[in-house]
Amino acid sequence: MMQRKLKVAALLAVILSASSAYAVAEDGFWLWLVKFNRQKGVRPVTDKQYLEECEGCHFAYQPGLLPAKSWEALLNADALRKHFGVDAELDNDTLKAIHDYAVDNAADKSWYKRSRKIAVAVATTEGPVPLRITELRYISRKHRNIPEKMIKGNKGVKSLSFCDKCHTQAADGVYDVDTVSIPNYPDWKE
Ligand code: HEC
Ligand code: HEC
């Protein structure tokens, strides 16, 4: 285990020094730092088809917010026909593309810090395959101190599922507390 960690660290050091030298030459150090910093969050969605089909009713959740087994359970014809009480059916080709994109970029296959935490938390939790991000232990714990009046009772939010209502950089995969702004509760921190 220790040896593996060392190998990973050595590999990372090589990649970092190579990519930083490249980045400094290309766009300057600060931009590189900003990009590297992003790895802390969740990998942003880049797939156009996924964005098109999945952001009609809600924010297009990054695949890195759920493990692959959850996407397998959510993204099949039967499940999509009764997707949280609505019909979100897709044609076969689109479904396959979206399914593969989500599974390939799932939390347990991502190196982004937030995804790693989600993957580890899921792996150490027993019970059925999670179908909601909001029900993941890691996510629900992060929100347990927010009063209901700021979520369900808040016209500007309505449900914890609408991440982007409060997380102003959710589309970039950034969920840090200092980027949160709760609609109608500018002073939520106090
Ligand atoms: C026709 C509308 C519609 C479309 C299209 C749709 N969804 Fe949903 N989705 C919903 C509703 C409604 C909910 C439940 C929201 C709530 O409980 O507040 C939901 C919830 C979810 C959740 C759980 C969120 C949570 O609470 O943690 C995931 C994950 C999800 N959708 C993924 C997808 C993906 C991926 C796609 C694209 C293939 C998609 N959805 C397309 C309507 C839709
Ligand atoms: C009602 C507004 C609101 C909604 C909706 C919401 N969040 Fe949050 N979220 C917060 C607040 C406020 C915090 C900070 C809580 C604290 O520090 O006590 C937070 C914290 C987090 C954190 C931890 C941040 C850190 O730096 O530790 C993550 C990750 C996160 N949210 C993800 C999500 C995801 C994913 C969704 C959608 C499925 C979501 N949130 C929906 C308000 C919201």
CA 180/CA 190 separation, integer angstroms: 13
Whether the per-residue pLDDT at 70 is higher than 70: the answer is yes
Question: What spacing in Å lies between the alpha carbon of 10 and ligand 1's midpoint?
Answer: 40
* Amino acid 10: pLDDT: 67
Q: Which tokens in the block code for residue 171?
A: 């589309």
With 0-12 CB in 10 A as exposed, 13-18 as middle and 19+ as buried, what is 116? middle
pTM (2 decimals)? 0.86
Q: Which tokens in the block code for residue 77?
A: 């014809």
> Is residue 65 a contact partner of residue 115, using CB atoms and an 8 Å limit?
yes
CA 27/CA 42 separation, integer angstroms: 23
Question: What spacing in Å lies between the alpha carbon of 58 and ligand 1's midpoint?
Answer: 6
* Amino acid 33: pLDDT: 61
Domain boundaries, the chain: 2-38, 48-179
Instruction: Work out the number of other CB atoms within 10 angstroms of the CB of residue 110.
Output: 23
186: left (phi over 0), alpha (psi -120 to 50) or beta: alpha
Residue 187's pLDDT band, with cuts at 50, 70 and 90, is: very high
pLDDT tens per residue across span 91-127: 999 999 999 999 999 999 999 999 999 999 999 989 9
Residue 40's pLDDT band, with cuts at 50, 70 and 90, is: confident
Instruction: Specify the higher pLDDT residue, 1 or 59.
Output: 59
CB 146 less than 6 A from any atom of ligand 2:
yes
